[in-house]
């Protein structure tokens, strides 16, 4: 199993541009998550999904959108990039239930100039 | 807002046990304590979790106090590769319960 994969690894965007961060998992997990991590800080939850077709906001959803059309994929969309969105983005997945463990991808480093 | 408090940094000598404390005085009865770590620039890695009993796996041991208000993660024989930020997380009890709140964690430096 590849686990959780993310693309791209690194991207530079200009202010106002848009892009989609890709996340795929091959563990047949129901739950998927997007976090951002600013330098020296902990992770903050952006959006999560409990299954295909179901998504919900996390702690910091403004400026982002998500969709979950399949169990495997959970893309994160930035519509109008802003410098405040410069961060490292981590996707994670878990099987589900009260005692689930989250498995993280390697991250996407985004720089907005 | 994080429900745990951890020291910002700790040092440990290579080969010695690393004991990382965590306070979670407001933990509820059905909330678990999870530990993750993040090695520089990588995604967080699950270590261990527990409810009230002590737990051990191939990576670490988790000791939870009887009143459940604090816990300690123990790496029995720390190596240089254990240098990382360690996060103690208490899982919130909302209906979905999906949010893992990662605070700033403890930066563990294993010294040769």
Query: pLDDT-based confidence at B2, cuts 50/70/90?
Result: low
State the smallest CA–CA distance between residue B42 and chain A in angstroms: 5
Q: How far apart are CA B4 and CA B16, in angstroms?
A: 25
CA distance A23 to A5: 6
Residues 6+ apart with CB under 8 A from A97: none
Contact A101 B49 (CB under 8 A): yes
The share of chain A scoring above pLDDT 90, in percent, equals 76
Mean predicted confidence (pLDDT) in B43-62: 92
Alpha carbon distance B80, B95 (integer Å): 40
Confidence band of B97 (pLDDT split at 50, 70, 90) = very low
What phi and psi values does residue B28 have, to the nearest 5 degrees? -95, 165
Give B52 or B7, the one with higher predicted confidence: B7
Q: How far is A64 from chain B (nearest CA, A)?
A: 17
B74's tokens: 């123990």
User: Does position B94 have pLDDT exceeding 50, yes or no?
Assistant: no
Mean pLDDT of A54-59: 90
Contact yes or no for B96 and A101 at CB 8 A: no
Stretch among A3-12, A13-22, B42-51 having the lowest mean pLDDT: B42-51
Best of B43, B47, B62, B102 to disrupt the A interface (most A CBs within 10 Å) is B43
Query: Cβ–Cβ of A104/B44 closer than 8 Å?
Result: yes
Residues A20, A108: Cα–Cα separation, whole Å = 11
Q: Are B107 and B6 in contact (CB under 8 A)?
A: no
For residue A84, what are the β-bridge partners?
Answer: none
Cα–Cα distance measured from residue A66 to residue A46, given in angstroms and rounded to the nearest whole number: 9
Round to whole Å and give the CA distance between A37 and B28: 27
Give me the half-sphere count of Cα atoms (radius 13 Å) on the Cβ side of residue A113.
Answer: 4
Nearest chain A Cα distance for residue B43, angstroms = 5
Chain B interface disruption, residue of A42, A90, A100, A108, most B CBs within 10 A? A42
Q: Average pLDDT for residues B18-35, to the nearest whole number?
A: 91
Quote the CA–CA distance of A100 and B39 in Å, as a whole number.
Answer: 21
| Token reading at B104 | 């700033």
Compare CB distances from A90 to B43, B46, B49 and report the shortest one's residue.
Answer: B43
Averaged pLDDT for residues A51-65: 93
């Amino acid at each position: 199993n590849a686990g959780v994969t993310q693309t791209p690894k690194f991207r530079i965007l200009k202010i106002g541009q848009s892009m989609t961060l890709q996340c795929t998992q091959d563990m047949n997990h129901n739950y998927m998550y997007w976090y951002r991590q600013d330098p020296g800080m902990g992770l903050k939850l952006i959006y999560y999904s409990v299954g295909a077709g179901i998504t919900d906001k996390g702690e910091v959803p403004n400026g982002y959108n998500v969709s979950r059309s399949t169990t495997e994929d959970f893309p994160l969309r930035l519509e109008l990039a802003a410098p405040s969105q410069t961060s490292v983005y981590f996707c994670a997945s878990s099987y589900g239930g009260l005692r689930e463990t989250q498995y993280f991808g390697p991250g996407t480093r985004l720089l907005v100039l | 807002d994080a429900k745990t408090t951890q020291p910002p940094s700790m040092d440990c000598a290579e080969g010695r046990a690393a004991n990382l404390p965590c306070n979670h005085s407001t933990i509820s009865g059905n909330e678990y304590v999870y530990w993750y770590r993040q090695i520089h620039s990588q995604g967080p890695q699950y270590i261990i979790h527990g409810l009230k009993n002590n737990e051990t796996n191939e990576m670490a041991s988790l000791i939870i106090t009887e009143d459940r208000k604090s816990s300690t993660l123990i790496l029995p024989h720390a190596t240089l590769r254990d240098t990382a930020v360690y996060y103690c997380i208490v899982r919130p009890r909302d209906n979905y319960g999906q949010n893992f709140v990662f605070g700033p964690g403890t930066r563990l430096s294993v010294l040769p």
